[in-house]
Structure 1
């Protein structure tokens, strides 16, 4: 990885990272302009590099500090979400 890219990632404000991530997720910039294929690819690479270098993520399918993808097993995912209710209803409310 070039020193220039490392410097960009190290100095990137979190707000810029969040805008880039949103652009990749939605396929368009905040003003509604669609990302070209080249923009989406390079933006996704920047987002992944930022996640690997700056965020200590352990969630499923995120990039670790070592540059690997965190893949949780089915058992780990079940344990993580066990007991969490999305909503509760009383019988008369249904």
Structure 2
């Protein structure tokens, strides 16, 4: 079985578990995930999302640029820098 075939047959529950492991840095049983494992899981998650045509807003790494733009516009010109006093 090739890597692509494995990802195509990946159960949605397993996909969610891999995604959660990448997000938290640990497996569901609490053991830490190594850097190599995290990299492999992230690759599998991204491939799964592309292969199963998940909406862009639900994919890993999505940045809602419109929301950021709306916030900047609503701040207007009256925004002033924050000063921290010691």
Mapping of residues 47-86 of structure 1, within 5 Å: 47-59=45-57, 62=59, 72-73=64-65, 76-77=66-67, 78=70
Cα distance in 2 for partners of 1:18, 1:46 equals 11
Question: Where does residue 4 of structure 2 map in the other structure?
Answer: 6
> Computing the radius of gyration over CA atoms, which structure comes out larger, 1 or 2?
2
Question: Where does residue 21 of structure 2 map in the other structure?
Answer: 23
Flag as ranges the 4+ runs of structure 1 deviating above 4 A: 69-72
The runs of 5 or more residues in structure 1 that have no matched partner are 64-68, 79-94
TM-score for the superposition, normalised by structure 1: 0.62
SS in 2 for 1:47: helix
Question: Where does residue 45 of structure 1 map in the other structure?
Answer: 43
The offset of 1:36, in angstroms, is 0.6
Q: With a CA cutoff of 8 Å and minimum separation of 6, indicate the structure with the bigger relative contact order.
A: 2
